[in-house]
Amino acid sequence: MKKFVLLFTCMLIAISVFAQTNFQELTLAKALGKAKMENKYVFVDCYTSWCGPCKMMTANVLPLKEVGEYMNETFVCVKFDMEKGEGRDIQQKYKVSSYPTFLVLNVDGSLLHAVVGASATGEEFVARVKEAFDDNSAGKLAVEYEKGNRDRDFLMTYIKALVKACDVEKAHKISEDVLASLSDDEKCTEPYWFIYENLDLSPIGSNNMMYLLQHVDQFRQGVGVEKVDSVVGNLFAIQLENILRGRNRTVTLEDVEVAGKMLESYHLEGHDYLNDYIALIKAVKTENTDDVIKLYKKVFPKMDAGKIAYLYFTPITTLKGKWSVKQKKALSALTKKIAGNVTSIPIQSSLMGFANITLPKL
């Protein structure tokens, strides 16, 4: 009887292990060779030791039966730490920059698809992996591109697939070729808006972004006011928030004045908070502590907790030695009030610590 129970237990363990995703300890070259022999693809889990979502996927999603059954049937699965050994070479070759990233490779090592970020469920993850075999996957579209297909609609589909697969460098190159073939009127229309609204394809300071800022009214006519104002407003928000965070310390008061006039010229709908950012930066630059407090009372009580976490502290600490005792008490009371309205425990704790420990020393 004991022998039967032991045998049955071993069978259950074997079935459980087989059901989960089977990651093999192979070099990438050997994994590609094995995949070729078995008529499969290669699946690469790109992780780091410090990545929380990577650990979540390893513990909660990849071991699921529905995930393992599909993965083991379709792929030779391997995993590499992107900061160690062969993982470093893989990270550079496939330009992995976010974690987790899951690569789907052809047997020749070419990238067919990339899944970036964690998935909440096994069903969601499998669906995202299966996108590798869609007709509009980056890998399949690459074949058409290499054959010489330069139809504009095809190229836009290919660009979107490349962005999805995190091949931003190639997507950017092709998008530049597309835009170079367009007239000014065509550039400002819906089919090509994707290029301008995507910060990977049109990063801040790029020719694309400058073109958008110089042709806002034309884009509004061709794409719609709400879409265009949202992107332009986001550009200003990124720049102004970086100043508030202390990431751009070379900005002068004159620069801020120019940014304010430029912002005003666009008449953005629903972006009044950007004017408050401008005013707050000016107040900090001129060391007008009374105005800083007034603007803090206006801006931060209605701000998202995530933004509070990285925008709240630097402007205050920048003015160390400029605060009166009365002002520090006012800031402390405001900080505690905001902390009381925040649901995130870590952010709440940071605010309370700032009010009770840091502020009195300023």
Strands 41-47 and 101-105: antiparallel
Which residue among the candidates 51, 77, 166, 188 is catalytic per the annotation?
51
Backbone Cα Rg of the chain? 26
d(CA 76, CA 24): 8
d(CA 41, CA 113): 11
Residue 235 burial (CB < 10 Å; 0-12/13-18/19+)? middle
- 63-86 per-residue burial string, b: 16 or more CB within 10 A, e: under 16: bbeebbbbbbebbbbbbbbbeeee
H helix intervals, 181-324: 184-187, 193-197, 207-214, 216-223, 225-244, 253-266, 273-285, 289-299, 305-311, 313-318
* Nearest alpha carbon to residue 107 among 37, 23, 47: 37
Residues 6+ apart with CB under 8 A from 219: 188, 193, 196, 212, 228
Q: Is 77 a catalytic residue?
A: no
């660009």: which residue's tokens? 159
């800031």: which residue's tokens? 331
d(CA 137, CA 160): 9
* Nearest alpha carbon to residue 100 among 159, 148, 58: 58
Q: Is 51 a catalytic residue?
A: yes
d(CA 20, CA 17): 6
Strands of the chain, DSSP E: 41-47, 75-81, 101-105, 111-116
Within 10 angstroms of residue 190's Cβ, the number of other Cβ atoms is 11
Which residue among the candidates 54, 77, 166, 188 is catalytic per the annotation?
54
Amino acid at 214: Q
Three-state DSSP class for residue 93: helix
Three-state DSSP class for residue 115: strand
Three-state DSSP class for residue 332: helix
Q: Which residues are tagged catalytic?
A: 51, 54
